[in-house]
Amino acid sequence: MAMASSSMEIAHTPGLERRLRRGDTSAAAAAEEAAPPREVVVEEEEEEGEEEKVYVAVGKDVKEGKATLVWAIENMAGPKKVVALVLVHVHCPPKMISIMGCRFPASKLKEQEVTAHRKLEMSSIYKTMNAYLNICSSKKVRAEKVVIERDDVGEGLVEIVADRGITKLVMGAASEKQYSRKMKMPKSKKALNVQRHARPSCAIWFVCKGNLICTREAGKQGFGMMQPPIASQRSGFSRLEDQLFVALPLVRHKSLTWTPKPMQEIWKERKSSLTSDSNGETKAVTLLHEVSNVSTPSSWSSAEDSISDRWDDISSSNGLKSSSEYVQRKEDDHQVVCPPHQLEKDLTNHKLYEKLRSALEEAEKLKREVYEETCRRQRAERDLYEAMQKVKASDVLHIKEMKQKKEMEEKLTREMVEAEKLRKQRDEALDELQNEHENKIALEHQSIHLELRIEELLLQRDDAVREAEELRKQKREQTATTQGTVNVVEFSYSELQQATNDFDNSLKIGEGGYGTVYKGFLHHTAVAIKILNPPTLHSQFYEEVNVLNKVRHPNLVTLIGVCMEFPALVYEFMPNGSLEDRLICTNNTKPLTWQHRVRIMSEICSTLIFLHSSNLNVVHGDLKPANILLDANYVAKIGDSGISRLSDQCNEKTTLYNKTHPKGTFAYMDPEYIITGNLTPQSDVYSFGLVILRLLTGRSAFGLARDVGEAMGKGSLQALLDRSAGDWPFLQAENLAQVSLRCCEIKRKNRPNLASEVSKVLEAMMKSASLGLASLSFRSVSEDGRGIPSYFICPILQEIMRDPVIAADGFTYEGEAILGWLESGHLTSPMTNLKLRHSELIPNHALRSAIQEWLQQQE
C-alpha cells in the first residue's frame, strides 16, 4: 500500500489481546500526543490497484483554495487518469483563544478550555475539508484528506513532503489579491519556504487564481523514492514504537482520528515513564525481535504468551498499564504496511480481532464521554455568557429607567413651575381685569377725544402718503450711484515727470491749498496732474481717491489714474479752464452767454442732486467757480473733490459730518459749517446759491448776496445783471435770483430743496434758453471752423460720434461706447442714472448724416 494512503492503520496481534481485554483505552488516546506533529487522516474507499497520488495543499478559505484544487483536477487528475488527489491542510493552532469576547493566551487557560476550543477548530476544519472533497466528487476524482498541526504552514508542508516521500505537490503561490499577469515567482512566505527547503525529489506546481505561475522540477537524485523520517527528531520511545508497528499487522479504519486532551496528558505520563527507563526500552526491543521471528499462524498462539509476559515486564518497569496505548498509533503519518499474505493470515484469528474491536469500542466510548463533557462545559460557558449578557441588559435597562425617572422628575418640576407661573398670571389677569373695569368709565369719556384724534391722524396720513409719493417720484428722477467701483490706472512717479517735463512751471495751470495742477501728456492724451502737498497726503489724497473712485457722473471730472509713490491724481484735461476764468475773461476770452450760463447752472444742480441723493450721500464741501471746469463744448464738470465727504449713514440727508477744522473757500462756506464744523448737503446749497448769483451778475462773491438782496428790495436787479452775457429774460432771471437768495440763507432750515424747488426754476429757464443755445452753437461753428457742436459729442467718450445711436433714455451715444456700458453690467442711463426700460439701440441716421456733412466741410 502506498505511503500517501489516508487510512488509519491499527496494530492487530495476538500478543496484545490480553491488554485489550482489560479495557485500558488510554493508549488509544495518547497515540496522537506522542508524535511531534498531530495529523488527522481521512480516506475514502479506494479501489484495488496502484494509483499515482498528487498532493494538493489547501487552506481554510474554500474560495481561494478552490481555484488551486480545480487547476490540479483539470491538469493532474481526471476520470480517465489513474490518479488520486490527497488534500493536505496544515493547521496552525492560535496562541490566543477568544472566550466571551476576550482573547487569552492558550498557556494561561485551563486544559479543558483549550481542549474545547481545539475541538471547535477541528470541527470547522473537518467541514472545510469535506467541502474540498465535494468539489472532487463533483469532478469524479478520487480524493483523500490529510490534516496536520504545525506552528508554521511552510515548515509543515516541508516535513510532510519529507515524511511521506511526496513526488508531486500543487500549492498556492500567493493570495489572489497579489496576482498579476507579470507574476513569475511565488510571493507568499510559505510558498517560498517550500520552494527552497522541500526535498529535491518532489516536483512542485505553484498556482495563483487558477493560473500556473511556475514549476519546480524534481531532481534526479532520489526521484520517486520515499525517504524515512529524520531520526534525530524522534525520541527513544518513538524509535521503539516504530519498530513495534513494523512487526504488527495493520487494519483499515474509516473514522476520523482525534485524541482528546485529557487522554493525551495520560499518554504523556505513560510515555515519560517508559522512555525514562533504558532497561524497559531494551526489553521492548527484545519483544519486537521475538515478534519479528514469528512467521506462521501456528507460531502466533505459541508466541502470544511469551510476548504478553515480556510486555507485562516492560509495562511494570516503565509504568505502562496496557498495550492498548499503541492503538491508533502513527507518527508524522509514517505508516508501514505489512505484506498482504501476512494480513490475511492474521485476520484468520477471529477471536483476537474481536478483542481488538472491543478495545477500540471502549476507546470510542471514552472519546464520546470526553466530547460530551466538552459540550457540557461549552453549554455552561454559553449559559454563563448569556447570563452576563442578561445582567448587562438589565444594567442598561436600569440606567435607562433611571434616566427616564430623572427626566420625568425634571419634567414634573418644570410643570409645577409652569403651573405656579400660570397661577400668578391668572391672579395678574384678574387684577388687570379689575383695573380695566375701573378704567372703562374713564375710557368712555376719552372716546370722543380719540375719535377726533383719529380724524386728525387720518388727515396727516393722507399728507404723508402724498409726500412719500412725491419723494418716490423725485427719487426716480434723481441720479443714482454707479453699479461698481471705477477702476483707475496707477502711474509711476517717473511717468508723471516725463508727462510734465519734470514739472515745468510753464505747464502749471493751477495752484491751491491742497496742491498744484500741471498739464501733461500721458499716452498721447492731454491730462491734468494734481500734485498734492505733503501735509494733506493722508487726509486729502485717500479721501479724494475714495470719492472719485466710488461715484461717476457725466458732470463730474473723471479720475484717470493715481500715483501712490508720490501722492498725485491724474484727471481728464478740461481745455476751457474753470468757470472762474470765464467769468473774469482770463486771457481775453469771450464772456459766456446767458444761455451757456443757464445750462451750466442746470448741470451743476443735477450733479449736486446726484451726489446728495446717492446711497453714498456725498457732500462736495468746496463748491465755487474755480472748481467748476469746462470742457471743449463748455459742458460743466465739478472738480477738486478734495474735501468731499462720504457719509457713514445713508438714510437721511441731514447727516452731520463732524469737522473740527473747516476747510474750503471762506466766501463760499456755509456760515453754520464755519461755526459748528458740521458739514451737510445744505452746505453745498449755500455755495451753489452764490455760484448762481455770480453767473447772474459776474461780480465777486464777497457781499454779493447782500447786494442782490438790496437790489431786489429796490427793484433794481436789472442793473446788477451781467450785460456781457446778453439780454437776460428778466422775469426768469428775477425768479432765479430769488431762489439763489434763499439758498444763501444763514439758517439751513430756510434753504430750498434743490430737487423740488431750484431745479424747477432752472428747468423753466432752460426751455427759453434751449432755442438760443442751439442757434448759438451753429453760429459758433460758422464763426470758428474749429468749434464742434455739442450734440456731435458722445456723452461717454467726449469725442465726435461716428455711429450715433439712440438709447432708451432718449440720449444719443457712440454705438461702441453705449454697448460697452451695457455689456459691463450697467442697467442705468449714463446721463441720468435712471434704470433703462430696455437695452435696444436705434441708429440716429439724421445725426450721422449731419456729422459726416460737417466733417467734410471742415476738411
For 312, the grid coordinates are: 507485562
| 511 strand-pairing partners | 516
For 518, the grid coordinates are: 500741471
Distance CA 257, CA 353 (A): 20
Are the CB atoms for 627 and 636 separated by under 8 Å? no
Q: What is the CA radius of gyration of the chain?
A: 60
Closest by Cα among 638, 614, 647 to 480: 614
Are the CB atoms for 320 and 270 separated by under 8 Å? yes
Are the CB atoms for 272 and 248 separated by under 8 Å? no
Sheet containing 559-563, strands listed edge to edge, beginning at the edge strand earlier in sequence: 489-490, 559-563, 568-572, 525-532, 515-522, 508-512
Closest by Cα among 838, 850, 771 to 806: 838
Distance CA 829, CA 817 (A): 12
What is the 3-class SS of 35-63, one letter each residue?
CCCEEEEEECCCCCCCCEEEEEECCCCHH
Distance CA 751, CA 738 (A): 11
* Terminal Cα-to-Cα distance of the chain (whole angstroms): 128
Are the CB atoms for 554 and 481 separated by under 8 Å? no
Distance CA 450, CA 463 (A): 20
Are the CB atoms for 73 and 104 separated by under 8 Å? no
530 in a known ligand binding site: yes
Burial of 717 (0-12, 13-18, 19+ CB in 10 A): buried
Of these residues, 622, 670, 684, 722, which one is catalytic? 622
Residues 6+ positions from 113 with CB-CB distance below 8 Å: 97, 99, 377
Give the type of residue at 431: D
CA distances from 313 to 26, 281, 531, 583 (A): 19, 11, 130, 152
Give the type of residue at 571: Y
Give the type of residue at 350: H
DSSP label at 828? B
Sheet containing 804-806, strands listed edge to edge, beginning at the edge strand earlier in sequence: 812-814, 804-806, 842-843
State yes or no: is 242 an active-site residue: no
E strand or H helix at 399:
helix 350-477
Distance CA 497, CA 762 (A): 44
Q: Helix crossing, 62-76 with 111-138: angle to 10°?
A: 40
State phi, psi for 800 to the nearest 5 degrees.
Answer: -65, 130
Numbers of helices and strands, H then E, in the chain: 24, 22
Q: Is 187 helix (H, G, I), strand (E, B) or coil?
A: coil
Distance CA 363, CA 738 (A): 136
Are the CB atoms for 171 and 236 separated by under 8 Å? no
Distance CA 651, CA 617 (A): 9
Distance CA 138, CA 140 (A): 5
DSSP string over 599-616: HHHHHHHHHHHHHHHSTT
Closest by Cα among 223, 63, 56, 219 to 142: 56
Distance CA 635, CA 599 (A): 8
Residues 6+ positions from 522 with CB-CB distance below 8 Å: 491, 495, 499, 560, 561, 570
Q: Give the start-end residues of each E strand in 631-736.
A: 636-638, 657-658, 678-679
Q: Which positions are annotated as active-site residues? A: 622
Annotated binding site: 530
